[in-house]
Chains A and B, each alone.
Chain A
Amino acid sequence: RKEVEQDPGPFNVPEGATVAFNCTYSNSASQSFFWYRQDCRKEPKLLMSVYSSGNEDGRFTAQLNRASQYISLLIRDSKLSDSATYLCVVSLTGGGNKLTFGTGTQLKVEL
């Protein structure tokens, strides 16, 4: 079983739609959780950290369910520019040095 699992997609949605991605992780000792965004043939960039209480950044909302070991990302009012691959990332420590990446979920927002 992969340590971090994501549906690879692609998710094809019309502009303005709401779309949600889920991710599950296998190690219950995981302590930090992130969503990164990766555009085609570019480097990953941090989208947002995920906190136990859930957090929102504009059109993006992240949730963490420790009991079920899954993380979600909700994108409201999708824009064409949201088209990218979204990587679920988990860390065993309090933060950075041992990040485990999911393989990513591809989102395509269409006119």
Chain B
Amino acid sequence: NAGVTQTPKFQVLKTGQSMTLQCAQDMNHNSMYWYRQDPGMGLRLIYYSASEGTTDKGEVPNGYNVSRLNKREFSLRLESAAPSQTSVYFCASSEQERGTQYFGPGTRLTVL
């Protein structure tokens, strides 16, 4: 039982490049989330998926897209990376919308 897994752990991109961050959970949770964490800012919600087949914007969705591929997987895509997207990205899941959220180990992204 791995919980929430994220790939890659580290990534360096050049401005304008695209990439997809992968997240998977094996806890049969319905809801999944993407956050970013920046120094002095706390974690901020980018997008979330309350259940399979639905996605909604969070606090800071601009520059990102998401796909809830199936119940297990929720990916985050940067179409044209910008230095302002340099951050640590965390994926989380919860059994239902009102449940405790469990976080993955994070992806450290640097955009040059």
Cβ–Cβ < 8 Å partners of A100 in chain B: 42
Check: A54 CB closer than 8 A to any chain B CB. no
Please report the total number of A residues contacting B with Cβ < 8 Å: 21
Interface residues of B in 12-41 (CB under 8 A from A): 31, 33, 40-41
Cβ–Cβ < 8 Å partners of B103 in chain A: 43-45
**When each residue 74-104 of chain A gets 1 if its CB lies under 8 Å from chain B and 0 otherwise, what string results?**
0000000000000100000111111111111
Instruction: Evaluate contact between B106 and A43: CB separation under 8 angstroms.
Output: yes
- CB < 8 Å: which of A4, A32, A96, A102 contacts B96? A96
How distant is the Cα of A64 from the Cα of B105 in the complex, in angstroms?
29
Given A43-B90, A43-B106, verify A104-B98 contact (CB < 8 Å).
no
- CB < 8 Å: which of A44, A93, A94 contacts B90? A44
User: Taking the nearest CB of chain A, how far is it from the CB of B46, in angstroms?
Assistant: 13
Q: A42, A96, A98 — which one has the most chain B CB atoms within 10 A of its CB?
A: A96
Given A45-B103, A94-B98, A96-B100, verify A4-B31 contact (CB < 8 Å).
no
Please report the total number of B residues contacting A with Cβ < 8 Å: 24
Interface residues of B in 73-99 (CB under 8 A from A): 90, 94, 96-99
Instruction: Evaluate contact between B106 and A93: CB separation under 8 angstroms.
Output: no
User: Taking the nearest CB of chain A, how far is it from the CB of B47, in angstroms?
Assistant: 11
Check: A20 CB closer than 8 A to any chain B CB. no
**When each residue 26-64 of chain A gets 1 if its CB lies under 8 Å from chain B and 0 otherwise, what string results?**
000000100000000011111001000000000000000
**When each residue 52-72 of chain B gets 1 if its CB lies under 8 Å from chain A and 0 otherwise, what string results?**
000000100000000000000
How distant is the Cα of A93 from the Cα of B58 in the complex, in angstroms?
14
User: Nearest residue in A to B93 (C-beta to C-beta)?
Assistant: A96
Instruction: Evaluate contact between B41 and A95: CB separation under 8 angstroms.
Output: no
How distant is the Cα of A46 from the Cα of B50 in the complex, in angstroms?
20
Given A43-B105, A44-B90, A45-B103, verify A96-B98 contact (CB < 8 Å).
yes
How distant is the Cα of A42 from the Cα of B94 in the complex, in angstroms?
19
Q: Nearest 5 A-B pairs (CB), nearest first?
A: A95-B98, A43-B103, A101-B42, A101-B43, A103-B42
Where the two chains meet, the residues of B that have a C-beta atom closer than 8 Å to any C-beta of A are 31, 33, 40-45, 48, 50, 58, 90, 94, 96-106
